[in-house]
Amino acid sequence: MTGEALRSERLRKVYTTRGGPSVEALAGVSMEVRRGERVALLGRNGAGKTTFLKIASTLLRPTSGSIEVFGHDVARNPDRARPYIAVVPQEGKPFFHLTPREQVYTYLRTRGLSRETAKARTEESLERMGLTEIADRLAITLSGGQRQRTMVATVIATEAPLLFLDEPSIGMDPFARRDVWESLRTLTQRGSTILLTTHYLDEAEALSHRLYIVERGEVLVSGTADDLKRSVGGTLKVTIPQGAVQVDAFRSFGACVADGEHLSVIVAPERIGELMDLAVRSRLTATVGPVTLEEAFLRVVGRSINEE
Ligand SMILES: Nc1ncnc2c1ncn2[C@@H]1O[C@H](COP(=O)(O)OP(=O)(O)OP(=O)(O)O)[C@@H](O)[C@H]1O
Ligand SMILES: [Mg+2]
pLDDT tens digits, one per residue of 274-287: 999 999 999 999 99
Distance 86 CA to ligand 2 centre (A): 17
Distance 25 CA to ligand 1 centre (A): 6
Stretch 256-275: mean pLDDT: 90
Query: How many angstroms separate the CA atoms of 29 and 41, rounded?
Result: 12
pLDDT of residue 235 exceeding 90, the answer is no
Instruction: Name the CA dihedral angle for 292, 205, 90, 141, rounded to a multiple of 10 degrees.
Output: -90
Mean pLDDT across 151-179: 96
Report pLDDT digits (tens) over 74-121. 999 999 999 999 999 998 889 889 999 999 999 999 999 999 999 999
Residues within 5 A (CB) of ion ligand 2 = 49-50, 90
d(CA 222, CA 212): 4
Q: Which ligand is nearest to the CA of 51?
A: 1
Distance, CA 196 to ligand 2 centroid (Å)?
Answer: 11
The CATH code of the domain at 4-223 is: 3.40.50.300
Q: Decide if pLDDT at 6 tops 60.
A: yes
Q: What is the pLDDT of residue 176?
A: 96
Instruction: For CA atoms 136, 141, 144, 148, give the dihedral sign.
Output: positive
Pairing outcome for strands 23-34 and 38-42: unpaired
Band of pLDDT at residue 54, cut at 50, 70 and 90: very high
- If you take atom 6 of ligand 1, which residue's CA is the nearest one? 15
Contacts of 117 (CB under 8 A, 6+ apart): 108
180-211 pLDDT, tens digit each: 999 999 999 999 999 999 999 999 999 999 99
Instruction: State what percent of residues in the chain have pLDDT above 90.
Output: 84
pLDDT value at 57 more than 60: yes
If you average pLDDT over residues 156-176, what whole number do you get? 96
**Cα separation of 147 and 129, whole Å?**
11
Query: Is the Cβ–Cβ distance between 75 and 66 less than 8 Å?
Result: yes
Sequence ranges of the domains in the chain: 4-223, 233-290
Phi first, then psi: give them for residue 225, nearest 5 degrees.
Answer: -60, -40
Where is average pLDDT lowest: 60-64, 89-93, 96-100, 140-144?
89-93
Give the DSSP H or E segment for 231: helix 225-231
The alpha carbon of 308 and the centre of ligand 1 are apart by a number of angstroms equal to 20
Ligand 1 centroid to Cα of residue 26, in Å, is 9
Domain formed by 233-290, architecture: 2-Layer Sandwich (3.30)
Name the residue of 42, 45, 53 whose CB sits within 8 Å of the most ligand 1 atoms, as the mutation to test its pocket: 45
Q: For the whole model, what pTM was predicted?
A: 0.92
Closest CA to 36 of 210, 207, 193, 195: 193
Ligand 1 nearest-atom number relative to CA 44: 25
Nearest CA to 264 out of 279, 283, 277, 282 is that of 279
Question: To the nearest whole number, what is the mean pLDDT of the chain?
Answer: 94
1 has pLDDT over 60? no
With 0-12 / 13-18 / 19 or more C-beta atoms within 10 angstroms meaning exposed / middle / buried, residue 248 is: exposed
pLDDT given at position 2: 60
Using CA atoms, how far residue 207 sits from 47, 173, 224, in Å, is 21, 16, 11
CA–CA dist 142, 99 (Å, integer):
9
